[in-house]
Amino acid sequence: MALQELTDIDYAIHILDMTIADLYKRKAALEALRPKPAVTPAKKKKLPDPRVLRGERKPRDE
């Protein structure tokens, strides 16, 4: 148990010894490794044909 406590204290001292710039560099490096979500373009809504809105026959897709 004493060895674990010494390890924890040593780790805490190590963290405190690092500069703020080093912490920001590490954060940037970790964020660069994080997988980015795939960006999909927004789909356009297809407007209905005006003839369909007037109640005429549905036009054929040509």
Structural domain boundaries, residue 9: 1-31
Number of domains in the chain: 1
What is the mean pLDDT, run by run of 10 residues, along the chain of 62 residues? 78 77 86 82 77 71 56
41-62 exposure pattern, b = at least 16 Cβ within 10 A, e = fewer: eeeeeeeeeeeeeeeeeeeeee
Residue 7, in any domain of the structure: yes
pLDDT at res. 1: 55
Residue 8, in any domain of the structure: yes
pLDDT at res. 61: 59
Residue 13, in any domain of the structure: yes
Residue 39, in any domain of the structure: no
Residue 57, in any domain of the structure: no
